[in-house]
Each structure stands twice: as C-alpha cells, then as structure tokens.
Amino acid sequence: MAIPDYQTTMLPLLAFASDGHEHTLREAVDHLADLFKLTAQERKTLLPSGQQAMFLKRVGWARTYLKKAGLLDSPRRGYFKITERGLQVLKDTPANINVSFLKQFPEFVEFQTPKKKHVSSRDLEETETTPEETIGIGYKKIREDLETELLDRVKKCSPDFFEKLVVELIVKMGYGGSRQDAGQAIGRTGDEGIDGVIKEDKLGLDNVYIQAKKWENPVSRAEIQKFAGALQGQRARKGIFITTSSFQKGAVDYVSKIDSKIVLIDGHELAELMVDNNVGVSTMAVYEVKKMDEDFFEE
C-alpha cells in the first residue's frame, strides 16, 4: 500500500501507546510499518531532501501533534507515553484522529495559532504532507524549473560560450586540473561542440576524452560508436559524451556492452550538474531547518 500520511498514523499511534508503557519512536515506527503492511522499500523511502526516511518523519510529526494536543507526553528523553486525556479519547472510539479532531483541545489551537501578524488562512491549511515534505516538494519544484531554464539558455548560447561552460563544469567537478589546463585541452574542433583530452585528476594519473555536442536531435548509436573508435585511436579507456539533447536507447545500450568506460550526459543531467556544482547559478536564499538539541538538555 502507499505510505500513509502523518494524519492517518495518529489514531494507530495513540492506540499503540494505550498500554500505558513508555515507548520510543523507533518502536512505534516498526509497529505501524507492520500494521500498514509497508514493504521494505516503502520503509526506506526518503523525503525529497534524501536525508530522512519519509515514514519515520510522518510518525514523528504525528507524535508531535498528539503531544501538542495533550494526548501524549514525554516522560524522559527519547520516550513518549499516553496521557489520561489520550486514554479518554480512545474510550470514545473516534473513527479517526486528524488536525481537525485535535482542534477541540485548547493547547493544540494555541500551538497552531500564528505568532506573527499577516499570516493568511492558507498558511494554516490542513494538508497530508509534513512541514519537511512541504519544504522538500517546494525545493524540488524550484530546482526543476531552474534546470529547465538553464537547459533552454544553454541551447541558445554560442559554441564558444558552450566550450567555456563545459570547461567550468569539468573543473568544478574536480577534473581537468586548473581552468587553464582544461581550457588548453578542450576546444580543438569548433564543430558546434568541443572535443579534447583532460586530466582525470589534478595529478594527471589518467586522461579522459571529452566530446560535447550542442544538438537538438537525439544522439544515435552510430555517433557513440564513432566516439568509441576515437577513444581506441587515442588509446584512451575513459570518455564523456555531453549533449544538450538526449540519447537514443540504442546508444545507451551500446555503452553498457563495450569495454571502454563511456559516460553519457544528456541535457537534463547537464543542467543538474550545473546546479549541483554552482555553474551558471547563484544562491538566492538559504533557509536553515533546525531541531532541538536533546544533548544540550541532558542533566
């Protein structure tokens, strides 16, 4: 089944704590994962940030909301326990517990009431996503739009500028030695693209053959075969083929079967690498997401 949202886990989480014992979040997550019959892959699914397990954070937020409503309490660090109010709620056998249900408790209403002026009612809108997920989804959308904008701009730039762009990207990724080294090694053909040999690392322990094409049409298998032949002619074992378009399936299948190591970078991946390595982009804003430091309060 799909991973349940944090509101769906509220009632099962409260029921899990109904034995009156102290429990850890991990115990609750394991119990609820079994209850919802989550697969191993679903249990490992990460948030858009790629740093935290989605189901773990959803159960964590369910616990937070239940605590803010006075249904759960934290008797000691890392543990939670049901309260008398929580037990009474379970005795009333609610069909489900969600944000609307919790609004009957003054403590929860106070928790949700904005502390600053000029906060619209939309800011308090009930959603199925946790705050971290909302941030992650927003970030992903901003990044995808930026990558699309970058690729469109790259396709419109001149061959000379495209050459400089690739040099900058290669250096930022740790290849090519210095910008001067990379610049001297690249830019030998001038055929709406660039070709050259660069250092794999700053010491020049191995070389990488580069070919980049500012094309609109997908790159065919025949083009990759010619590139592989060029590698053999240079006695090179490694190559990178960069295009602003895409690769036909035959081209992708071909590189997986040959001895030479050829990395294919299409337009979308090129834009991703530019963002990852701060090429052609600048930081607009930085938001720090913090959490309470439990160790600080350890007595």
116-173 pLDDT, tens digit each:
544 444 444 456 778 888 888 888 888 888 999 999 989 988 888 888 888 888 888 8
Confidence of residue 183 (pLDDT cuts 50, 70, 90): low
User: Is 141 a domain residue?
Assistant: no
Indicate whether 45 and 105 sit together in one domain: yes
pLDDT at 138: 83
Average pLDDT, integer, range 66-82: 92
User: Is 91 a domain residue?
Assistant: yes
Range of the domain at 184: 158-276
CATH code where residue 109 lies:
1.10.10
pLDDT at 168: 85
User: Is 230 a domain residue?
Assistant: yes
Residues written for the chain: 299
Indicate whether 181 and 95 sit together in one domain: no
Indicate whether 100 and 197 sit together in one domain: no
Q: What is the mean pLDDT of the chain?
A: 85
CB 54 within 8 A of CB 47: yes
Indicate whether 183 and 260 sit together in one domain: yes
User: Is 152 a domain residue?
Assistant: no
Indicate whether 175 and 241 sit together in one domain: yes
Confidence of residue 219 (pLDDT cuts 50, 70, 90): very high
CB 76 within 8 A of CB 70: no
Domain end, chosen from 113, 137, 166, is at 113
242-282 pLDDT, tens digit each:
999 999 999 999 999 988 899 999 999 999 999 999 999 98
- Count of domains observed in the chain: 2
pLDDT at 46: 84
The rounded distance, in Å, linking the Cα atoms of 292 and 289 is: 11
User: Is 147 a domain residue?
Assistant: no
Indicate whether 86 and 184 sit together in one domain: no
Q: Dihedral of the CA atoms 50, 53, 59, 63 (nearest 10)? A: -70
Indicate whether 108 and 43 sit together in one domain: yes
User: Is 282 a domain residue?
Assistant: no
| Torsion sign over Cα 25, 30, 35, 40 | positive
User: Is 294 a domain residue?
Assistant: no
pLDDT at 232: 82
Confidence check: pLDDT of 201 > 80: no
Indicate whether 88 and 187 sit together in one domain: no
The rounded distance, in Å, linking the Cα atoms of 145 and 228 is: 34
Indicate whether 93 and 38 sit together in one domain: yes
pLDDT at 117: 47
User: Is 194 a domain residue?
Assistant: yes
Confidence of residue 298 (pLDDT cuts 50, 70, 90): low
pLDDT at 212: 86
CATH code where residue 165 lies:
3.40.1340.10
